[in-house]
Chains A and B, each alone.
Chain A
Amino acid sequence: MPEAATGVAMNTIEVRFTGGMLALNRLLMTLQNKRMPVAGFTLGRDGDGMRATILLDCQPESALRYTALISALEDVSEAGPAETIEVAMISTSGDWREAAERSGIEAHEDEGTVVASGASEKVDDFLATLGARDVVRLGPVARPEGGV
């Protein structure tokens, strides 16, 4: 049986690895093989190789054990905890810049859509302040290192 989802403990692991598709395949196979409770998975590439940010829905001590397991993969150069954030995309006519500053979140506008991200309770506060009329919430996601 896969580990039961807790629904309350989202743990983010950031994994850096080299080896391209074969290494990615091995990582994914490990997640599946060990029945890790993956709630989110994002992948990026930079000069050092590939970077996966994995959201695990489990107790923190299980996440630590899974991190140890992933760290032991030969292709993995680094694996460790990362930040979990909430992302919301909104359409608003309000002053989102001031609301974002007050709530302590990051936000920017892209072709009329405001993309806001930060700790879950801060994003809640931001949305409540703004009274946004059209909101898409992505739920908790991992924040890749250096990204928003």
Chain B
Amino acid sequence: MENTAFNIEYKPRTGSEAMCEALLDEGVDYLFGYPGGAIMPFYHALGDYPLKHILTRHEQAAAHAADGYARATGRVGVCVATSGPGATNLVTGLATAQMDSVPLVAITGQVGRPALGKDSFQETNVMGMTLPFTKHSFLVEDPDELYPTMRRAFEIARSGRPGPVLVDVPKDVQFAATNDNGYRRLREAPPPVESPGLERAAMLLRSAKRPLILAGHGVTLGGAEKELRLLAERTGIPVVTTLLGISAFPDDHPLYLGWPGMHGQASVNRAIDRSDLLFAVGMRFDDRITGAAHKFAREAKIIHIDVDPSELGKVIKPTVGIAADAKAAMRSILGHLDAPDESEGCGLWREELAKTQEPERRRKESARDEYGPIQVMEAIKAAAGPDLRLVTDVGQHQMWAAQFFEFTKANSHITSGGLGTMGFALPAAMGVAFAYPEDPVWVIAGDGGIQMNIQELATIRDFGLNIKVAVLNNGYLGMVRQWQQFFHNRRYSETPITGPDYEQLTAAYGLAGRTVSEGADVGVAVRWAQEQEGCTILDFHIDPEANVYPMIPSGMSVNEMIEEDGA
């Protein structure tokens, strides 16, 4: 078609161009990906658009990086892979995002439409493969549907309970001319629901004598940190968080108690056991929190607020169940709570709780002088300052970090909670560092998990990301070893693990690293790392048989908790 007035030739856009335009229209700035045969047309078009592509060294890392970016910013993360092995490599990343309700759009190339279903080279049924852990998925066979489908994918990923959405695009569709640029909302978001439960929840909050607020990831995802704080301060009710809820409420706030669960604080587990009202918001009663669900918070009435109605009653039957966004629900409840001094019984309850926390506080104080994980955490906290963004991997170090760091900045603790994905931290930290290049970003990982995506040091170096890594190296898959110690008669079957010399490894990648083996060097090494330009790795050789305490064995209750003194 030609516009004769201006002598401009209008060419129809290709599918790839429509995809790029949709990304731009969604405000995407970073994509994390890895090219390959079936996604080549998209990569060809990408260069013509102001979209920053980060070439990772593995597709799994691309998914985790997009995940880290999404968790840190609250925006939709984007990752890209080719068909076949490229797509299968995304799977762990998608499952990680799904379990923790992280908004992600994954774009995969697919073999051309004529080759579909014929076991063609690098063909996999990625839609079928990812059905259980994507919020939705599209196979786009009509080029005219590419642009609206891409837009729709973003809308689905971020709406309601966020999650990953897959868009699988056959190669010939990426090449094809597209005509339709229109974006139609296929389904309007449901209007906010006024629940009669909100007033009842407020009434229960007013009358409880031993109430607790239990805040989860939904508070962060819903941007409801302010409402959580207001609610706590107006009622004087102490706050505990889930693992993913850490940093939704400031750790240094006098109403903050800590986090419960398998490796949560003993005092917090006991507080839940003693409570008469649990205000659970944006959380899903994960089995790592409840242990034996039938023994969990037996004396408590439960108010459960979650944006996903199917979570209400899934594990714990609530007294009041409210299917609503955390922010909107807490705002509404605040409207029903007039005077700040109505929960008269709360003062005594707070005093009781403070006493139960005292022994833990003393233990923590004394552990600061011993070489080990706590000392490392303290040194990082001091060197990085209050703007620290901490990304942890999965295992013992993850629990130590959650126990001993103090998170005063909202959404500054990022970890894989639901899926427990080893290898998550290093690539996820890349996403965080791209989102907040000025903030100090630290990774804490074990010597098992760090090796699962260690190849990303090359990506980190290429982009000069200022990520500091602390490896808590005990020569074991530590958490599994701990379970073997407790429950398998110390038969350390296949848990001893070796790794590289991290000083040499970092040097090979053009980075810097140090090994630390004693307490006197911890502070110096951490300060050195903090002062370096770019990425550094500190390899802390710690006690091989250090354990995480307390521990509630899987499927048991607070009464079966194993504590450090052997109790």
Chain A residues within 8 Å of B, Cβ to Cβ: 22, 25-26, 29, 33, 61-62, 65-66, 68-69, 72-75
Q: What mask results when residues 287 to 326 of chain B are scored 1 for a CB within 8 Å of chain A, else 0? A: 0000000000000000000001110111000000001000
Report yes or no: B323 in contact with A22, Cβ–Cβ below 8 A: no
In the assembly, what is the distance between CA of A33 and CA of B99, in Å? 13
In the assembly, what is the distance between CA of A99 and CA of B127, in Å? 52
In the assembly, what is the distance between CA of A25 and CA of B310, in Å? 20
In the assembly, what is the distance between CA of A104 and CA of B57, in Å? 69
Report yes or no: B156 in contact with A74, Cβ–Cβ below 8 A: yes
With a cutoff of 8 Å between Cβ atoms, the chain B residues found around residue A75 in the complex are 136
Interface centre among B131, B135, B323 (most CB of A within 10 A): B131
- Known A-B contacts A22-B127, A25-B128, A68-B323; the reply to A74 vs B312 at CB < 8 A is no
With a cutoff of 8 Å between Cβ atoms, the chain A residues found around residue B337 in the complex are none
In the assembly, what is the distance between CA of A13 and CA of B187, in Å? 22
With a cutoff of 8 Å between Cβ atoms, the chain A residues found around residue B308 in the complex are 68, 72
Report yes or no: A29 in contact with B132, Cβ–Cβ below 8 A: yes
Give B165's nearest chain A residue, CB to CB: A74
Chain B residues within 8 Å of A, Cβ to Cβ: 127-128, 131-132, 135-137, 139, 156, 160-161, 187, 308-310, 312-314, 323
With a cutoff of 8 Å between Cβ atoms, the chain B residues found around residue A22 in the complex are 127, 137, 139
Report yes or no: A74 in contact with B309, Cβ–Cβ below 8 A: no
In the assembly, what is the distance between CA of A139 and CA of B137, in Å? 36
With a cutoff of 8 Å between Cβ atoms, the chain A residues found around residue B127 in the complex are 22
In the assembly, what is the distance between CA of A33 and CA of B310, in Å? 14
Report yes or no: A65 in contact with B131, Cβ–Cβ below 8 A: no
Report yes or no: A65 in contact with B310, Cβ–Cβ below 8 A: yes
Known: A22-B127, A26-B136. 15 other contacts (CB 8 A): A25-B131, A26-B131, A26-B137, A29-B132, A61-B313, A62-B313, A65-B309, A65-B314, A66-B310, A68-B308, A68-B323, A69-B309, A73-B136, A74-B136, A74-B156
In the assembly, what is the distance between CA of A25 and CA of B137, in Å? 11
What are some 6 contacts across the A-B interface (CB < 8 A)? A22-B127, A26-B136, A61-B313, A65-B310, A68-B310, A73-B136
Report yes or no: A68 in contact with B309, Cβ–Cβ below 8 A: yes
In the assembly, what is the distance between CA of A65 and CA of B311, in Å? 8
Report yes or no: B323 in contact with A33, Cβ–Cβ below 8 A: no
Report yes or no: B313 in contact with A74, Cβ–Cβ below 8 A: no
In the assembly, what is the distance between CA of A64 and CA of B248, in Å? 31
Q: In the complex, how many angstroms separate the beta carbon of A143 from the nearest chain B beta carbon?
A: 25
With a cutoff of 8 Å between Cβ atoms, the chain B residues found around residue A26 in the complex are 131, 136-137
Q: In the complex, how many angstroms separate the beta carbon of B126 from the nearest chain A beta carbon?
A: 12
In the assembly, what is the distance between CA of A72 and CA of B160, in Å? 9
Q: In the complex, how many angstroms separate the beta carbon of B551 from the nearest chain A beta carbon?
A: 24
Interface centre among B137, B309, B310 (most CB of A within 10 A): B310
In the assembly, what is the distance between CA of A33 and CA of B135, in Å? 13
With a cutoff of 8 Å between Cβ atoms, the chain A residues found around residue B187 in the complex are 74
Q: In the complex, how many angstroms separate the beta carbon of A20 from the nearest chain B beta carbon?
A: 11
Q: In the complex, how many angstroms separate the beta carbon of B260 from the nearest chain A beta carbon?
A: 24
In the assembly, what is the distance between CA of A66 and CA of B309, in Å? 9
Report yes or no: B128 in contact with A65, Cβ–Cβ below 8 A: no
Interface centre among A22, A33, A75 (most CB of B within 10 A): A22
In the assembly, what is the distance between CA of A72 and CA of B131, in Å? 14
In the assembly, what is the distance between CA of A73 and CA of B313, in Å? 19
Q: In the complex, how many angstroms separate the beta carbon of B541 from the nearest chain A beta carbon?
A: 42
Q: In the complex, how many angstroms separate the beta carbon of A130 from the nearest chain B beta carbon?
A: 43
In the assembly, what is the distance between CA of A74 and CA of B161, in Å? 12
In the assembly, what is the distance between CA of A66 and CA of B310, in Å? 6
Q: In the complex, how many angstroms separate the beta carbon of B490 from the nearest chain A beta carbon?
A: 30
Q: In the complex, how many angstroms separate the beta carbon of B106 from the nearest chain A beta carbon?
A: 15
With a cutoff of 8 Å between Cβ atoms, the chain B residues found around residue A66 in the complex are 310
With a cutoff of 8 Å between Cβ atoms, the chain B residues found around residue A74 in the complex are 135-136, 156, 187
In the assembly, what is the distance between CA of A25 and CA of B139, in Å? 13
In the assembly, what is the distance between CA of A74 and CA of B149, in Å? 13
In the assembly, what is the distance between CA of A33 and CA of B98, in Å? 13
In the assembly, what is the distance between CA of A74 and CA of B189, in Å? 11
With a cutoff of 8 Å between Cβ atoms, the chain A residues found around residue B314 in the complex are 65
In the assembly, what is the distance between CA of A62 and CA of B317, in Å? 10
In the assembly, what is the distance between CA of A50 and CA of B135, in Å? 20
- Known A-B contacts A22-B139, A26-B131, A29-B132; the reply to A72 vs B310 at CB < 8 A is yes
In the assembly, what is the distance between CA of A26 and CA of B138, in Å? 11
With a cutoff of 8 Å between Cβ atoms, the chain B residues found around residue A62 in the complex are 313
In the assembly, what is the distance between CA of A72 and CA of B306, in Å? 14
In the assembly, what is the distance between CA of A73 and CA of B132, in Å? 12
